[in-house]
Structure 1
Amino acid sequence: MNNFSLNELTLENVGQWPKSVKIGVIAFLSILVVGMGYWLIIKSNFEQYEQLKEKEVSLKQEFELKQHQASNLQAYRNQMQIMQERFGNMLKQLPTQNEMPGLLEDISKTGIASGLTFELFAPQPEVQHDFYIELPIKITVVGNYHQLAVFLSRVAAMSRIVTLHDFMIEGAATDKQKSGTGDQLIMKMTAKIYRYRTL
């Protein structure tokens, strides 16, 4: 049976095939079964495994982020409490609409108490912002350097928020004729008063 022809090999006479052909066919079928098994079973499981590994990495990152947030939650709450207290304190420094005339009067009295003469004290139209309303006041005062400094210091120390802008200081044109000292100055500026805007 050493001499055989491929034409003589049929499925009906498998038992009579030479041993080498049987081994070759069995090896081929084994490789085919293993290949098909890999393709159908193992490869899909391997792809699923790779997807799960990627998901594991993203879940670990999400966990670390949430763990970091949770560990800092108390610090965030403390910081929020401090910010709310500061905001409340700042709101207390803003006058209400009813307190605005009194604050304007306080600024005027502060200037007079500092020894200044008012040439102009003119509230301008209110400017609306998102959370507050700003009332600019054009002010022109006459006095010496010390009186101007005292006025500015007292306005800055007021319990309400008042900011001063657009300063211009110049010598008074007729001060020598009035007092003979030549130390009178004219200060022009804009004071801004803020109040909380109720929404």
Structure 2
Amino acid sequence: EKIFNWPLYQRVLLLSGVVALILAGFVYFVYLEKHKEYVQLEEKKNTRLAKLQEDQRIADNLPKFKSEYESMKRKLDRALAELPNKKEIPTLLTSIASLAKDNGLDVLRFKPGAEKTQGFYAEVPVSLKLVGSYHEVAMFVYDVSNLARIVNINNLKLDSPKMQGGRNLLSIECLATTFRFIEGGTAPTKKKKRKKR
């Protein structure tokens, strides 16, 4: 009753204050909590929608990915056919020595070196010293290049030809490097070169 006796402007102010408190309580306790929950749900929805679109894109391209996978698998199989495994290395080295002899070269040194691991493959170097004519050396290198396996001939050093038994003979030193596949190996990492300042 006391409030009803107050002047009109005071009653309006009191009523406005009560309404403002109720609105502030609603905004703070209900609206802001729900808005926060709404924002979180909206972010979750957008994340899942993006994942769904990515999954849909993958599903749409699945036949293409499968064909690319099969193509890459065939290429890997072909590449692995050129990289012998550890069991085939002695046979390959024997065939290199046989090629030298078949082409008329005298093998003075045939020394397999230590393997150098390079990630998923290893280099198998063989130091060779051969004596023969220029043509015999050329035919040997040609025959090595036609092997089913990869063999690189590097560091080729030719000495001056010498006449011997009516033949012009060269003394050749070289490094024949073949490669073998390492099961479960990883690709070599490239080290970044730092610039000098």
> Could you tell me the TM-score, scaled by structure 2's length?
0.72
Instruction: State the shift of 1:154 in Å.
Output: 0.8
Instruction: State the shift of 1:100 in Å.
Output: 4.6
**1:20 equivalent in structure 2:** 9
**2:54 equivalent in structure 1:** 65
**2:176 equivalent in structure 1:** 191
Instruction: State the shift of 1:96 in Å.
Output: 5.9
What percent of counterpart residues are identical? 24
Instruction: State the shift of 1:155 in Å.
Output: 0.4
- Per the alignment, do residues 58 and 138 of structure 1 end up closer, same or farther by CA in structure 2, a change over 3 Å counting? same
Query: Would you say the 8 A contact 2:85–2:182 is kept in 1?
Result: no
1:143 aligns with 2:132: yes
Where in structure 2 are there 5+ consecutive unaligned residues?
Answer: 185-197
1:75 aligns with 2:75: no
**2:144 equivalent in structure 1:** 155
Q: 44-53 vs 83-92, which deviates more? A: 83-92
1:109 aligns with 2:94: no
> Could you tell me the TM-score, scaled by structure 1's length?
0.71
Where in structure 1 are there 5+ consecutive unaligned residues?
Answer: 1-11
- Per the alignment, do residues 96 and 45 of structure 1 end up closer, same or farther by CA in structure 2, a change over 3 Å counting? closer
- What's the CA shift string for 1:64-111, capped at 9, x where partnerless? 333333334333332322232233333334456665554334323322
CA RMSD of aligned residues (A): 3.1
**1:164 equivalent in structure 2:** 153
**1:38 equivalent in structure 2:** 27
Q: Which amino acid aligns with 2:60?
A: S
Q: Which amino acid aligns with 2:111?
A: A
- Per the alignment, do residues 97 and 13 of structure 1 end up closer, same or farther by CA in structure 2, a change over 3 Å counting? closer
Q: In structure 2, how many angstroms separate the alpha carbons of the residues matched to 1:34 and 1:95?
A: 80
Larger Rg: 1
Instruction: State the shift of 1:157 in Å.
Output: 0.6
Query: Would you say the 8 A contact 2:133–2:167 is kept in 1?
Result: no
- Per the alignment, do residues 50 and 99 of structure 1 end up closer, same or farther by CA in structure 2, a change over 3 Å counting? closer
Q: 32-41 vs 101-110, which deviates more? A: 101-110
**1:51 equivalent in structure 2:** 40
